[in-house]
Amino acid sequence: MTVRAVLDRLRIRPGWVLPAAVFGWAQLVLLGWWAGQWPGLLSADSVRYIIHVTTGPWNADHSVLYDSAVLASLTLTRNVALLTLLQTTAAAAAIAYTVAGLRAVGVPGRWAAVPGCVLPLLPSFGAFVATVWKDVPFTLCELMVTATVLRMFAHRHPTEAYRPVPRRLLVALGLELLGLTLFRNDGFLLVLVIAVVLAVAFRGVRVAVLGLSAAAILASFFAQAAVYPAFDIKPANSSLAYGIFDAEIALAYARKPSTFTASDLALMGKVAPLTSWASANNCYTSDPLFRSKGFSLRKADQYHQELFALWWRVLARTPGTVVHARLCRGSVAWNVLPPPWDKARLGRVVVQTPTNLYGSANTRVPPDITKNVALQPLNDSLGQLTRTLRAETDRLRYQPLLWRGATWCYIAYLVLVVAALRLRRWDLLAVGSASLANQLTVLAANPAQLFRYMAGPVFVGVMLLALLAVRRRPPARPAGQDAVDDGPEGAPTAPAPGPVVAPS
């Protein structure tokens, strides 16, 4: 059977042959990661998702939508392997979709395919995708937003005679923005930044973009206010939102205790001993405070309004300390170098799920599920290979290139500038809106040095490398004329042949 016959039978449009091939390769590689990490790696957060939907209580500390996916997998199979398998397929599809977007803006197919074939091989992607984490679908939404913006850009022409952006692209963008708000509680902040960037850059769809962004944000707020309580899902603990402020209070107290009044100290003493506040003198992470002996998360929730008011007073008295703490903790968003070893470590993909499930095995997690989610690779060789790759790339020398989102933010911005100069199209810079939004929001409010907070820019940056090969396409045909398909749907089209006119 010829290739053409196979494509005809599968009904794959000619322009989608390359993305389909990349999808097949990515899925194959990711299945290797999945088989080697079967049924899926578990972090401490992953175990909390399982606890939410089994023994409870179920609260909205983490993504309720992702918790529901965990529940579905456990209900159907009493395991998480189904969920991680679907994540590999979604990741392969996101890569293929991005390859199609790159071709649509003028990247030759062979160059568009290269990063799509390399990305699944990286431990920061392959191992991550086969992990039970809400951040997996969240980062895939970032990648797909980038791909959709590429395709929206392809429908714009520098003569201002824009072709209408297909409604399906706007629907796709709306769903991707909704995913950002539902897979992470602070995802609405990313949506706000993306909306502003796209509204400034893409005049023709400004109203639509702002409307979709507002709808996504309002939908997430409605879910928290009405939908989750209807299913007896408790609200998120306030410590998640206010914890960074408590950590900054601790840092200011450790460094400038004389600025605190007796009433300030009395309030702090209700939550933890003053020695615990003073010992949390680490600007890179808020964990030392919350994990210190004597600190009460329950009391912190109870007095969160008073503590927030104290934070405002601390900011007024010692603004430099607070700003420094915010920049230091947010260094995972802007610094390509790792933090000092004695201060914090960059939390990456776990190398090995502990058999005691972080202290919850057979107690908070039902015994049969405890047994089923234990790491048991489907193939010993793949298990050894994936574990070795996770462990070896955990070394500091690999961190800037494989695990630091800040590195890939800067690479992506540089690539976009080069491509914009080549195409003479500055609106191309809007393609980096998802990475910029991720970087700014983590910089503004970040609790710890964790790879997963900046995973999206790593993947986006790798894929955008193909833009270095972008080339200018012929102008689009005037409205009303037939077009010739020149690639994936949405790509600029080439004019039909016309009569040859001798030069005068």
| Segment holding 269, helix H or strand E | helix 262-271
15 contacts 489 by C-beta, under 8 angstroms: yes
Residue 322 pLDDT greater than 60, yes or no: yes
In a domain, 339, yes or no: no
Predicted confidence at residue 204, as pLDDT, reads: 80
In a domain, 62, yes or no: yes
Beta strand 41-42 with 131-132 is: parallel
Last residue of a domain, one of 415, 431, 449: 449
pLDDT grade for 491, boundaries at 50, 70 and 90: very low
434 contacts 459 by C-beta, under 8 angstroms: no
Residues 122 and 221 in one domain: yes
In a domain, 225, yes or no: yes
Residues 163 and 61 in one domain: yes
In a domain, 127, yes or no: yes
CA dist 38 and 27 (Å) reads: 15
| Nearest residue to 463 via CA among 21, 22, 12, 14 | 22
| Nearest residue to 307 via CA among 385, 253, 365, 228 | 253
Predicted confidence at residue 9, as pLDDT, reads: 63
Domain count, the chain: 2
Residue 183 pLDDT greater than 90, yes or no: yes
Residues 38 and 161 in one domain: yes
CA 245 distance to own-chain centroid = 24
Q: Name which residue leads in pLDDT, 160 or 282.
A: 282
Predicted confidence at residue 12, as pLDDT, reads: 63
Residue 161 pLDDT greater than 70, yes or no: no
Predicted confidence at residue 236, as pLDDT, reads: 87
Residue 251 pLDDT greater than 50, yes or no: yes
Residue 47 pLDDT greater than 90, yes or no: yes
Residue 6 pLDDT greater than 80, yes or no: no
DSSP, collapsed to helix, strand or coil, labels residue 425 as coil
Over residues 268-272, the mean pLDDT reads 95
Predicted confidence at residue 156, as pLDDT, reads: 74
Residues 388 and 304 in one domain: no
Residues 100 and 79 in one domain: yes
Residue 401 pLDDT greater than 80, yes or no: yes
Predicted confidence at residue 234, as pLDDT, reads: 93
Q: Name which residue leads in pLDDT, 271 or 11.
A: 271
CA dist 226 and 237 (Å) reads: 17
Predicted confidence at residue 293, as pLDDT, reads: 84
State which residues form the domain around 264: 238-329
Residues 293 and 442 in one domain: no
